[in-house]
């Protein structure tokens, strides 16, 4: 089953093992069935209508990648490939460190202090390309105070990758 999702997250350290981890503030997913199942487990995944399209040219480069839908307001994101592979991605020393930091955490957390839950994930290594924003409208991020309009239009990094499989090991456990 293919599910597209958007995660509002930050990077943290796993207090149990000291490894790199991710804390999820909010998440949304396109599968109503998955969203219903995860709500029963008290995971913070909301169902949203979202259409994701990836257009590629004859060299298999992303010429345009769009996501549009509704998550507490209309969303529209348009991105294109800037480079076919990640070569330099500040503030990291090299692309391997960047990808490990951004896409490699195998532990996730969610929930308020005192009720935080922990879960594990497994995913194959992805090989993203570097992208740049053409247009973005995501008022929910501004409404939450996570970004201002200027920051949203000029994000620090954009990584594009084909669909990947993520295996989430449930049920989540208290921290």
Cβ 158 vs Cβ 131: under 8 Å: yes
Average pLDDT in the 14-26 region? 91
Decide which of 126 and 81 is more confident.
81
Average pLDDT in the 23-36 region? 89
pLDDT at 2 over 80: no
pLDDT tens track for 56-96:
889 888 889 999 999 999 999 999 989 888 888 888 888 88
Cβ 157 vs Cβ 127: under 8 Å: no
Q: Which two tokens stand for residue 104?
A: 């490699």
Average pLDDT in the 105-109 region? 90
pLDDT at 39: 81
pLDDT at 1 over 60: no
Share of the chain above pLDDT 70, in %: 98
pLDDT at 108: 92
What is the residue-averaged pLDDT of the chain?
87
pLDDT at 74: 95
pLDDT tens track for 143-170:
989 889 888 888 888 888 777 778 888 8
Beta bridge partners of 110: 24, 117
Q: Which two tokens stand for residue 113?
A: 């202090």
What is the CB-side half-sphere exposure of residue 171 using CA atoms within 13 A?
Answer: 7
């Amino acid at each position: 089953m293919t599910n597209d999702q958007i995660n509002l997250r930050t990077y943290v350290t796993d207090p149990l093992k000291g490894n790199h981890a991710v804390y999820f503030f909010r998440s949304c997913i396109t599968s109503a069935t998955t969203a219903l199942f995860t709500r029963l487990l008290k995971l913070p995944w909301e169902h949203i209508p979202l259409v994701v399209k990836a257009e590629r040219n004859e060299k298999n480069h992303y010429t345009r990648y769009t996501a549009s839908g509704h998550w507490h307001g209309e969303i529209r994101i348009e991105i294109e490939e800037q480079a076919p592979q990640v070569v330099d991605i500040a503030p990291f020393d090299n692309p391997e460190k960047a990808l490990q930091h951004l896409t490699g955490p195998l532990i996730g957390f969610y929930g308020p202090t005192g009720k935080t839950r922990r879960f594990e994930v497994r995913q194959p290594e992805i090989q993203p390309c570097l992208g740049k924003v053409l247009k973005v409208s995501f008022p929910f991020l501004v409404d939450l105070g996570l970004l201002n309009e200027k920051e949203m239009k000029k994000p620090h990094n954009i990584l594009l990758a084909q669909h990947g499989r993520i295996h989430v090991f449930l049920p989540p456990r208290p921290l």
